[in-house]
Chains A and B, each alone.
Chain A
Amino acid sequence: MQKQLVTLAASAVLSLSAVSAQAAILDDVKAKGYLQCGVTGGVPGFSAPDSNNVWAGLEVDFCRAMAAAIFNDADAVRFTSLTSQERFTALSAGEVDVLSRTTTWTMSRDTQLGISFVGTMFYDGQGFMVRVEDGIESALDLSGAAICIESGTTTELNAADYFAANGMDFNTVVFVDQDEVVKAYEDGRCDVYTTDSSALAAERSKFANPDDHEILPEIISKEPLGPVVRAGDTQWFNLARWTYFALLEAEELGVSSANVDEMLGSDNPAIKRLLGVEGDFGTPLGVTKDWAYQIVKTVGNYAEIYNKHVGPDTPIGLERGLNALWRDGGIQYSAPIR
């Protein structure tokens, strides 16, 4: 109810303000001298303080990449913690310039709130975690299992659908609170714990012995998480979208923060276009022609960001999966820069 009210109010205001002339966000941001980025209160791997108490994470790095494209400085960005209730209002009221806060791209949000989803920084989806000792290899082996679940969420419905579709039966152990669910699973009151796979991984990293638990490969729902901007400012939307594409394109072309300076001398025309050696793709976006060079130089490419914050070598330990590039079996795909 609360959410609906906020949504309603937000769309009402947006339809009003759509009439008045939109000031270009990019000009405002350049005048301010920094990018205001809305993030979570602290979700490890996505946006959370690191050990030096500096914001770090996959979504944080998207904002840093945008700042690098605009100011050639990945630190010209300020972060605002937003709760899930206030995130869209804060975006539409102009308190933040870009919202990069584990927000699922859905049709109603994209079309009714006066906001535009830029792309999918992270393909999330509901998964299952089990104990390694149970020897379960696939979600299809879960018939008859006791499942710990948070009540009243889409998680519960998704699980019910999945089991029904595969003709399996299961027992749910339902809790109101995420922490209770985790505790119950840890205490062995159920065999399986299900929620979004990124959350599964984050929770697993907090267990006393993370290696005793595994996340099954099946993903049973679509939760594309991506950055969001205000609707109506095409230039700003383009800058956000092509920042995202530049991260992917750099990975695809093998350009990383380590070798980007050598790559300036590359003969590959695609790399030349990406790094602004040939052609000028920055000016139409309202930034300098070496915008993508700055992004890769200071923040890195998509693979670097992913592996640094949520990849297999981090405590979160998520395989690339759907988030691999299209040529590696994933669905991360950038439109070509040409």
Chain B
Amino acid sequence: MTDIGFVRSEIVSARPAPNRSSGAIAWVRKNLFSTPLDTALTILGVVFLAWIIPPLYGFFFGNAVPPGGTVEQCRLENAGACWAYIAAEMEFFIYGFYPAQEFWRPNLVFALGALLLAPLLIPKVPYKRTNAVLLFVVYPVVSYILLAGGLFGLRVVPTEQWGGLLVTLIISVVGITLSFPIGVVLALGRQSQLPIIKTVCVMFIELIRAVPLITILFMASVMLPLFMPQGTTVDKFLRALVGVTLFTSAYVAEVVRGGLQAIPRGQYEAAAALGLGYWKRMGFIILPQALKHVIPGIVNNFIALFKDTSLVYIVGMRDLLEAVKTKNDSAIEWQSANTATTGYIFAAMVFWVFCFGMSRYSIFMEHRLNTGYKR
């Protein structure tokens, strides 16, 4: 048996897959032209993009007037977005009527907030407890003193002068940080065995959920002053803040309740069997599981809150969108065909950046906490 003609002594090196089954061409074949319908849709899509992209590019970049341009450029026949207007009025969009020589105060508040928030959001950074105390207890006090003034020789800046992105951020940040704990307490209260607590929570949630936010704000701005003795006034800003917070907390409460109901009864019983009291049971066993389930729902509410801040125009506050509208109407020196459009696009972009950021962070948190349920 020695007539074996050929013995391969080394392994044949793998050849690359044929072009038809791998690489760019295969991907295109598989994903874009696999059936006649696919082919038709692909062609249609390309035609649509070819039709929509050049004018959009022209509007946003090609023919757009960059920051630093003049209004005459914006008024040209085929001028695109008037970014020069945004750049020129940026201060108003960010600070509203806040006095210019005091801009360092909101700036410092922004910077402090970012400095404290960033390490809290990144799971690896240590000292979470100290950080949280600083952010949720010390920071609001410092921010209020900085923004409102009146102490330590800081000039008083009444809330009527706050505006723009500053107002949007304050209302949403305060709204989010306050409505979450209030919502959790309301959700627990609604499940309480104690009739009074339960009734109060149910009434509060059902009342607030049954009316539009506009109504609450309108009530706060127009009706509330009528119920109070002549001369006593509650700051409009505070009224808006309270209205937005209460509104969101009712929604958060219902979302959290959904999470509580998803926890099997066995978990409650097991926690009780360990001899834990009510708060420990909730704090260590039930809520950590329940809240994990409802992160998407809660973030949904927070994103909605962020966008709903625009409704404070009802009480005459000037948030980012309202600041843009005010300038669109009143900045006569910047009037051109695209000025107002550019203003609204700018507002939309800012809102998008914040909402998208929140959404991505919530997905990150979901993945991180999704230890037992990964599918």
Contact = CB atoms under 8 A, between A and B. Distances in A.
A95 B97 contact: no
A86 B332 contact: no
The residue in A42, A48, A53, A86 that gathers the most chain B C-beta atoms within 10 A of its C-beta is: A53
Given A53-B91, A95-B225, A205 B97 contact: no
Contact of B226 (A9, A52, A82): A9
A266 interface: no
A205 B335 contact: yes
Contact of B329 (A43, A81, A86): A43
B115 to A, nearest CB: 27
Contacts of A23: 231
A288 interface: no
Contacts of A9: 223, 226
Nearest to B332: A315
A89 B230 CA distance: 11
Given A9-B223, A44-B329, A49-B330, A95 B318 contact: no
Interface in B310-336: 313-318, 322, 325-327, 329-333, 335-336
Contact of A89 (B161, B225, B337): B225
A41 B326 contact: yes
Contact of B333 (A17, A51, A93): A51
Contacts of B248: none
Interface size class of B (residues with CB under 8 A): 35 or more
Interface string B217-251: 01001110110101101001000000000000000
Contact of B322 (A20, A41, A51, A85): A41
A316 B337 contact: no
A6 interface: yes
Contacts of A53: 91-92, 95-97, 100
Nearest to B88: A51
A263 B318 CA distance: 42
Nearest to A82: B316
B335 A41 contact: no
B329 A80 contact: no
A208 B100 contact: no
A90 B225 contact: yes
B160 interface: yes
B223 A78 contact: no
B150 interface: no
Contacts of B322: 41
Contacts of A86: 221-222, 315-316
Interface residues of A, number: 40
B225 A93 contact: yes
Contacts of A13: 226
A55 B225 CA distance: 25
A93 B233 contact: yes
Contacts of B236: 80, 95
B158 interface: yes
A316 B225 CA distance: 36
Given A41-B313, A41-B316, A55-B97, A78 B333 contact: no
A206 B317 CA distance: 25
A83 interface: yes
B336 A208 contact: yes
Name the residue among A20, A89, A205, A206 with the largest chain B CB count within 10 angstroms.
A206
Given A55-B97, A78-B158, A43 B223 contact: no
Interface string A224-245: 0000000000000000000000
B316 A10 contact: no
Contacts of B331: 51
Nearest to A17: B230
B75 A208 contact: yes
B92 A80 contact: no
A94 B91 contact: no
A328 interface: no
Which one of A49, A82, A86, A208 has the highest number of Cβ atoms from chain B below 10 Å of its Cβ? A49
A81 B315 CA distance: 8
A28 interface: yes
A40 B96 CA distance: 15
Given A44-B330, A52-B100, A86-B222, A81 B316 contact: yes
Interface in A30-59: 41-44, 48-49, 51-55
B288 to A, nearest CB: 44
B319 to A, nearest CB: 12
A41 B318 CA distance: 8
A89 B335 CA distance: 34
Contacts of B228: 93
B222 A81 contact: no
B160 A81 contact: yes
A315 B222 contact: no
Contacts of B161: 78
A220 B310 CA distance: 38
Contacts of B223: 9, 89
Contacts of B97: 49, 53-55, 79
B327 A316 contact: no
B230 A20 contact: yes
Given A20-B230, A49-B92, A94-B233, A89 B329 contact: no
18 contacts: A20-B230, A23-B231, A41-B316, A42-B329, A44-B330, A49-B327, A52-B100, A53-B100, A78-B160, A80-B316, A81-B317, A81-B318, A85-B218, A86-B221, A86-B222, A93-B225, A94-B225, A315-B335
Closest 9 CB pairs of A and B: A93-B225, A48-B330, A42-B326, A81-B316, A315-B332, A206-B335, A42-B330, A44-B330, A86-B222
Interface of A: 6, 9-10, 12-13, 17, 20, 23, 28, 41-44, 48-49, 51-55, 78-83, 85-86, 89-90, 93-95, 202, 205-208, 315-316
Given A20-B230, A43-B329, A208-B75, 8 more contacts: A6-B222, A10-B226, A12-B226, A42-B329, A53-B92, A89-B225, A93-B225, A315-B333
